[in-house]
Amino acid sequence: MKKVLIELNDLVKVFDDEKVVNHINLQIYENEFLTILGPSGCGKTTTLRMIAGFVKPDEGEIIINDKVVNELEPYARPVNTVFQKYALFPHLNVIKNVSFGLDNKDFNSLYEFFGKDKIIEEIKKYLDKKIEEEAKRVLKLVKLEGYEQKRINLLSGGQQQRVALARALINRPQILLLDEPMAALDLKLRQDMQYELKEMQRKLGITFIFITHDQEEAMTMSDRIVVMNGGIIQQLGTPKDIYNEPINRFVANFIGESNIIEGIYIDENHVRFMNQDFECVGYKFEKGEKVDVVIRPEDWDVVPLEKAKLTGKVTSSIFKGVYYEICADILGMEMVIHAYEDVPVSSTIGLSVDPYEIHLMKVKQNEQ
């Protein structure tokens, strides 16, 4: 059974009379890579800052290791944070930036950290050596061996990010908080860092809580994803579950592309939309209930017209490298289809869909 490391119980934060975090409840497990994903202003960074101790909640509890930490200062919590702006010291070289947290620990903390019984006269020399060894160890972990004496202003953005990571990791935190740390990196470097961060988390065996608005980052790295909007947790689950089984229109549209169609639930194995009855699998609603039908663009099958359940006129076709993104007008609704072969504009396209690729959601009032 997984051990719960962090609990957020009915957490609320208000700024200017607006609940930016609105009664959220969440359990985060030991050794988990959890991503909090959502658009700007959804409350994800405020949630992270409350866990870190930089912001105090107005209501609710933050529990770490079975202890309520609402009143604990950031330095007293078993967490370190990597910010979007790396906050490195330009007057220090790489190794001094990385070892800063250990250099500034008091004697008793360092003595406890390394756990060595040395005589007082030799302890400072010994600790200086151990701090340098520890800094080199984490620099190797983030692939910056040989950069120890480099000046910060001579490093690329990706290298500076690695220094910031190493500085956070040198204290061996139980929890690492990452607030959109890759936002300033170019696309190729971001993609490379996604795999490196996940591998680093696996090797270290510590809990990562990662904040992003980037769906690809969340899907690539996470064990679980928290999707937030309007200060509320919309859905919590594995990347696969959230992509394949979105709970509402916001999640379906925010995670990947979706065709969302109004439908009528017939029974456990059938749904009606676009004037056709389709087979579906395993959903339970009231007979005759209105439902939202979600079909991902890649889940449509382009078929000969005589075998098609739906037909429509192609309005555009764009080559995306691996597939063609085709838009088609079907009964006045624009449908997006990903196909491996082009279909000419103005021609008629035939579509079918596997029952297992049809997802049904409950219709929610005032949701767009």
Q: Name the residue with higher pLDDT: 368 or 205.
A: 205
In a domain, 367, yes or no: no
> Is 186 found in the same domain as 108?
yes
* CATH code of the domain in which 191 resides: 3.40.50.300
> Is 215 found in the same domain as 87?
yes
> Is 301 found in the same domain as 181?
no
Query: What domain range includes position 352?
Result: 257-362
> Is 192 found in the same domain as 239?
yes
> Is 271 found in the same domain as 220?
no
Domain ends where: 210, 244, 278? 244
Domain ends where: 244, 278, 305? 244
Mean pLDDT of all residues belonging to the chain: 87
In a domain, 311, yes or no: yes
Q: Is the pLDDT of residue 7 over 50?
A: yes
> Is 217 found in the same domain as 265?
no
> Is 167 found in the same domain as 82?
yes
Domain ends where: 187, 214, 244? 244
> Is 273 found in the same domain as 197?
no
> Is 190 found in the same domain as 159?
yes
Q: Name the residue with higher pLDDT: 179 or 62.
A: 62
* Region 75-88 average pLDDT: 78
Q: Is the pLDDT of residue 81 over 90?
A: no
In a domain, 368, yes or no: no
> Is 99 found in the same domain as 23?
yes
Q: Is the pLDDT of residue 119 over 50?
A: no
> Is 264 found in the same domain as 240?
no
* CATH code of the domain in which 301 resides: 2.40.50.140
Number of structural domains (the chain) is 2
- How far apart are alpha carbons 264 and 333 in whole angstroms? 17
> Is 327 found in the same domain as 219?
no
Looking at residue 193, its pLDDT comes to: 79
In a domain, 94, yes or no: yes
In a domain, 341, yes or no: yes
Q: What percent of the chain has pLDDT over 90?
A: 58
